[in-house]
Amino acid sequence: MEVLLEEIIEQCAPYKALGKPASYIPELAKGDVNDLGMYVILNNGQTFKAGDYKKPFTIQSVVKPILLLLALMDNGLDKVREKIGVEATGKPFDAINVTDQSLQNQHINPMVNMGAIAMCTLISGATYEERFQRLLELTRKLAGNNEIELDEAVYLSEKRTGNKNRALAYLLKSYGLIEDDDVESVLDCYFKACSIKVTCKDLARIAYVFSSHGKMPISDERIFPAEFAHFVNAVLVTCGMYDGSGDFAVRVGVPAKSGVGGGIMAVVPTRMGIGIFSPGLDEKGNSLAGIKALEQLSRKMYLSIF
């Protein structure tokens, strides 16, 4: 298996430089397009890795399924379904509006920025700092890594330049979809959530828990109900790769979530969790070489769920 991963890393090397790091967040623009790493955890607990799998990066939008999970754990499925929709927008992840009509709950997809900002209000906590800390602790728990921390430089960079996300948050507020008066605190929670620093191994372990429907590797400890994993995985299939989700479903065929930091978390239900990192992005904000690597792995190991 490790030989296969190394072969894929080598074969996908030409694609690394074809992508570009996210430039609208100054700290992310410093990403090295030569990086490409993979980490895989099988359902029997075996692990395999190749390339730059030790390189840390910020989780960015890969935090969205974790945000959704925590919202489910705090509120239950029915209440979350009342607050958010699950339909793909067909538009970029930071689109200002996804409909020509009045913005309603069903228009808020949890895998794009607007939906994730709204989900920050569904997390329990006396303050938004407490809510973020609970999200951070859940991320550490799922990844089995208590050393996961906030990347302060990326957080401050996002906060300084996140005017489009501010527009999204205040749009939600204007339609009554954010009830909190302190919109800036909601945004601060979101900026921090996106700035959690992880590795390929962390993403693979988190993906494994979703693949095993809520159970941790080795110990089999249940972290959350299986129905939450079914819900999150289904949303990932239809919406996890932004407005490239349909093409990704055809080419790779597994639930996955990308982030503009270059990470991809891929869930192969009952079989494995996969973490990939390569910061060169395509025009949709997905890791270009990362998708190529997943496409090869899926084809060679028959991973597609379709």
CA–CA dist 12, 293 (Å, integer): 6
- 61: annotated active-site residue: yes
**Annotated catalytic residue: which of 83, 190, 195, 212?**
190
Structure token pair of residue 229: 């994993």
Ramachandran angles phi, psi of 250, nearest 5°: -70, -45
Q: How far apart are CA 255 and CA 259, in angstroms?
A: 14
- Which class for 228: exposed (0-12), middle (13-18), buried (19 or more C-beta within 10 A)? buried
The one catalytic residue in 64, 192, 257, 292 is 64
Q: Please give the Cα distance from 35 to 43 (Å, whole number).
A: 27
Place of tokens 């939906």: 115
- Annotated active-site residue 175? The verdict is no
- Residue 88, classified by CB atoms within 10 Å of its CB into exposed (0-12), middle (13-18) or buried (19+), is buried
Residue 260 annotated in active site: yes
Candidates 198, 201, 242, 254; catalytic one: 242
4-36: burial string, b at 16+ Cβ within 10 Å, e else: bbeebbeebeebbeebebbeebebbeebebebb
209, containing H or E segment: helix 200-211
List residues with catalytic annotation: 61, 64, 190, 242, 260
